Amino acid sequence: MKYLIKSVLFCVAFTGIFVVFSFVKGFIPATYERVAHGVIGILAAFLTTVIFLKIDRKQFSTIGLTFDRKTIPNFFTGVVIGLALMGLLAAGVLFFSHVKLEANPKSDLLNFLLMTLPLLPLAFMEELGFRAYPLEILKDRIGTRWAILITSILFALYHIANGWSVASSFYGPAIWGLIFGLAAVYSKGISMPTGIHYAANLTTSAFGDATSTVSIWTVKQTQAATTNSPDLDWATILPAVALLVLALVGMELFLKRTTSASMAFRNGSNRR
């Protein structure tokens, strides 16, 4: 219970410090607002981490916050995973909502990548805030499964505090939180979940309406989409359920594998 409380307090402190620091954005031009939001969030998450590590008398390395030769490869592995997952989900949404895609004449790939660059610090900020200290202190005390589930719920509550609806927060960030948490535990750090997080948001930003000057594609309603409006619910529900099942099955397979490996190691040590 002690570590659960500390994990919750960390997320509350991070959110509070972030809100306080965000007042600085009032002095920053609107053009740089998204970049400033991410940078301020990183500073808030970093400061919160430093405070809690000082209280615990621990180092950054104890919660996986180190930069080594695996950091960059893990990040790009995460990007590939995020693009694959979100690409499949986007395809499902398009199929069930009966809409069509058209190339956006107001944008191109280079413009898209430059304009969406602020998504990177935003992703890193949230991974630092939820998949570093909170996940690590819970993982060693109550187990990986519960640590991932609890931090995913905290991630959803954070989005609710930021104005998201309860439903959107739980079938979006909470489910993705399972994927991010599993990636953090598997890779022993936050570079891989940051890559997944960035790529997922990047893929979402690739689709926009006719007025968008950033997205690569514009989404247009078809006659089927307007006459079959009940299907629009399935367009959000089914991809979310599919991702939830994938996350839970992946987590259980990972836990089973790590448990088997741990038991084999113990048996080998006992024979010696």
Q: What is the mean pLDDT of residues 31-47?
A: 93
Vertex 198 angle, CA 23 and 240, to 5°: 105
- Residue 215: pLDDT band by 50, 70, 90 thresholds? very high
CA 251, 141, 261, 264 torsion-angle sign: negative
Q: Which helix (H) or strand (E) holds 241?
A: helix 231-271
> Is residue 32 in some structural domain?
yes
Instruction: Supply the mean pLDDT for the chain.
Output: 89
> Is residue 266 in some structural domain?
no
> Is residue 228 in some structural domain?
yes
- Residue 240: pLDDT band by 50, 70, 90 thresholds? confident
> Is residue 268 in some structural domain?
no
> Is residue 68 in some structural domain?
yes
Sorted by sequence, the CB contacts under 8 Å of residue 171 that are 6+ apart come out as: 236, 237, 240, 244
Quote the pLDDT of residue 231.
46
Sorted by sequence, the CB contacts under 8 Å of residue 111 that are 6+ apart come out as: 213, 214
Is the full-model pTM beyond 0.75? yes
> Is residue 196 in some structural domain?
yes
> Residue 238 is encoded by which pair of tokens?
């089914």
* Tally of structural domains, the chain: 1
> Is residue 167 in some structural domain?
yes
Residue ranges making up the domain that contains 123: 2-258
Q: What is the mean pLDDT of residues 133-138?
A: 95
- Residue 51: pLDDT band by 50, 70, 90 thresholds? very high
Sorted by sequence, the CB contacts under 8 Å of residue 130 that are 6+ apart come out as: 11, 151, 154, 155, 158, 177, 180
> Is residue 39 in some structural domain?
yes
